Chains A and B, each alone.
Chain A
Amino acid sequence: MTAETGRSAGSTPWDIDPFEELYRLWKAITEGIQLGMPHIVGRARVEEGRVSGLEMNVILHETETELSFKDGDYVYFIIPAKPEEGIEGIYVRLDKILGDRG
């Protein structure tokens, strides 16, 4: 199994630690996979290309969905959270969305 990062340039600069947030959600993700497809829904505050705030939660969805849009300084997003990709895999998805939208 492979997961491309999609971008070879450096990652989005973060002022907060995205990994900590994902560790906090991990339990909900692994519990969720038994009932449906876990997704992370949330919003990130992106100012001048830097991510300065992040609020996230886990929701279940029937099918894999990915959606993001930008409104002012905030990027709102829903991304699939696949446990087999680990914390790092989910981070890479999140980083890509914020890189594209931010």
Chain B
Amino acid sequence: MKRKGTSIKIEAPKDSIEAVLRDVPGFVTNWPYVVRISMRDGLKAEIMMPRFVFRFRDTYRVEYHSDYNSHIYDGTGDRGHLTLVITLKEWQKYVDVVLELSYKGKGEFWLGKTLQDFVEKVGKAVKELAESRPIKAPEPTATSSDDGIAAGVDFSNPMSVAEFLSKSQMVHSGLHVISAEGLLGLIGELRGNIRSNVLYISGITNDGTRSFKVLLNGSRVLAIEFRDKNGTEVIKVEDDEDAGKALELTKKVQGAYMVNVWVPVGGV
């Protein structure tokens, strides 16, 4: 058994940090060395830990438990066992977050440095995700009507998109280079400047051969469309399985896109 740990200070409310930690698939996707996530039949994460010229690759079935101040992610793989315990301690202006990672399995005697990197990068991810969440949600009435507008959108029906746009406003436009698995990173970056739970993000490459649309409520993907020369894939998220597929689809979005962000302006 190899144990590594770290602790960080996060200047965000405890609620924001807990929201990040409870969104298990979203959080695990942001771990380092995670190469694939599958939601079919429970959450599974394929993790590849590098050391020297070796790569220790295994698929872990991740289970999540929590109590009043700690969050435990228990990963059981074919060749190893990985446990991450995150403990929160709330102070007036910040939250102390202690992370402990233990690993038992193939290569454990060599992986010390990699595991230290692993736990530090997870800490960094928690910090970034928690601090980029909007501090205050918009007033409840607006939220509920925004939710209603968003719930009606299905990318396979262009008229539902038209309906949404007629009640929306463009708040951001820019050229963004999206790296591998970077759509979620871009969403986090955009969220930092925009105070709306519901976001419609659309991107298209210069030559128009690839494009995407994604509708989000908080960190949840409600619907996604990706089109390239092979055709168009559309997912409207209705259960956990759809959520996993939607997450997979976000990984196909790579390259330079002209990105526009629309938010509902409220009112019907």
Contact = CB atoms under 8 A, between A and B. Distances in A.
Interface string B241-268: 0000000000000000011101001010
Contact of B206 (A7, A14, A30, A86): A30
Contacts of A30: 206-208, 258
Contacts of B196: none
B125 to A, nearest CB: 30
A13 interface: yes
Contacts of B161: 19, 88
A2 B170 contact: yes
A57 to B, nearest CB: 15
A1 B262 CA distance: 11
- Give the interface size bracket for B toward A: 20 to 34
Contacts of A2: 169-171
A30 to B, nearest CB: 5
A95 B262 CA distance: 16
Contacts of B158: 14, 17-20
Interface string A1-40: 1111101111111100111100110110010000000000
A19 B259 CA distance: 16
A20 B165 CA distance: 16
Contact of B162 (A8, A14, A27): A14
A23 B208 contact: yes
B202 A86 contact: yes
A86 B170 CA distance: 10
Contacts of B162: 11-12, 14, 18, 91, 95
A84 interface: yes
B159 A13 contact: yes
Contacts of B262: 88
Interface in A41-98: 83-89, 91-92, 95
Contacts of A95: 162, 165-166
Given A1-B172, A19-B161, A27-B207, A88 B260 contact: yes
Interface string B153-186: 0000011011101111111111000000000000
Contact of B204 (A10, A24, A26): A26
B69 to A, nearest CB: 42
Contacts of B165: 5, 11, 88, 91-92, 95
B211 interface: yes
Given A17-B158, A86-B202, A10 B166 contact: yes
A51 B59 CA distance: 52
Nearest to B207: A27
A7 to B, nearest CB: 7
Nearest to B262: A88
Contacts of B171: 1-2
A45 B150 CA distance: 30
6 contacts: A4-B169, A11-B166, A27-B208, A27-B209, A30-B206, A85-B173
